């Protein structure tokens, strides 16, 4: 069983003078997500669903209709991430790596359930 343990992002605070722009310091424990039960097919449906992952709203995905162009194309993922876990951390909360990232924290803010999260990771990892 594999667990995710992204480092805490609470310590990443930009010194922005008067205005504390919210790279909000969420004091949540590092997530423990079981990625082993992910189903790529379910993940694809979630990635295309406006009310769920909606990855297609911002990312080009091979085979996806009307993609947005805000984030990078989701292709060759296994050459871009050293492991499925590293990809999962990015989807969990992109501001861990890039504090100014616009991407919603799908795991940290519980936009997806744990199963949906594992499904999406499985799907994106397969691209």
Q: If residue 110 lies in a helix (H) or strand (E), which one and from where to where?
A: none
Minimal distance, residue 124 CB to another protein, in Å: 18
* 24 binding another protein? (CB under 8 A): yes
Please report how close the Cβ of residue 52 comes to another protein at its closest, in angstroms.
Answer: 12
By residue count, the chain amounts to: 127
Q: What is the DSSP string of 31-45?
A: P----TT--HHHHHH
Distance between CA atoms of residues 27 and 8, nearest Å:
8
Q: In the complex, what is the shortest distance from the CB of residue 41 to another protein, in angstroms, rounded to a whole number?
A: 22
Longest dimension (CA), the chain: 47
Closer by beta carbon to another protein, 43 or else 105:
105
* 16 lies in the binding site for another protein (CB under 8 A): yes
Span from 34-42, 72-80, 84-92, 101-109 in contact with another protein (CB under 8 A): 101-109
Residues 29, 47: Cα–Cα separation, whole Å: 26
Instruction: State the nearest-atom distance from the C-beta of 87 to another protein, in Å.
Output: 19
> Which pair of tokens denotes residue 59?
């990312």
Task: Please tell me whether residue 115 binds another protein under the rule CB under 8 A.
Answer: no
Does position 28 interact with another protein (CB under 8 A)? The reply is: no
């Amino acid at each position: 069983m594999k667990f995710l343990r992204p480092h805490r992002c609470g310590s990443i605070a930009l010194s922005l003078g008067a205005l504390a722009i919210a790279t909000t310091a969420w004091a949540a424990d590092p997530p423990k997500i079981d990625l082993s039960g992910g189903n790529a097919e379910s993940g694809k449906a979630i990635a295309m669903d406006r009310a769920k992952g909606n990855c297609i709203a911002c990312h080009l995905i091979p085979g996806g209709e009307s993609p947005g162009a805000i984030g990078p194309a989701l292709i060759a993922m296994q050459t871009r991430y050293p492991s499925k876990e590293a990809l999962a951390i990015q989807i969990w909360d992109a501001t861990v790596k890039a504090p100014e990232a616009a991407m919603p924290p799908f795991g940290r803010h519980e936009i997806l359930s744990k199963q949906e999260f594992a499904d999406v990771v499985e799907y994106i990892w397969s691209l």
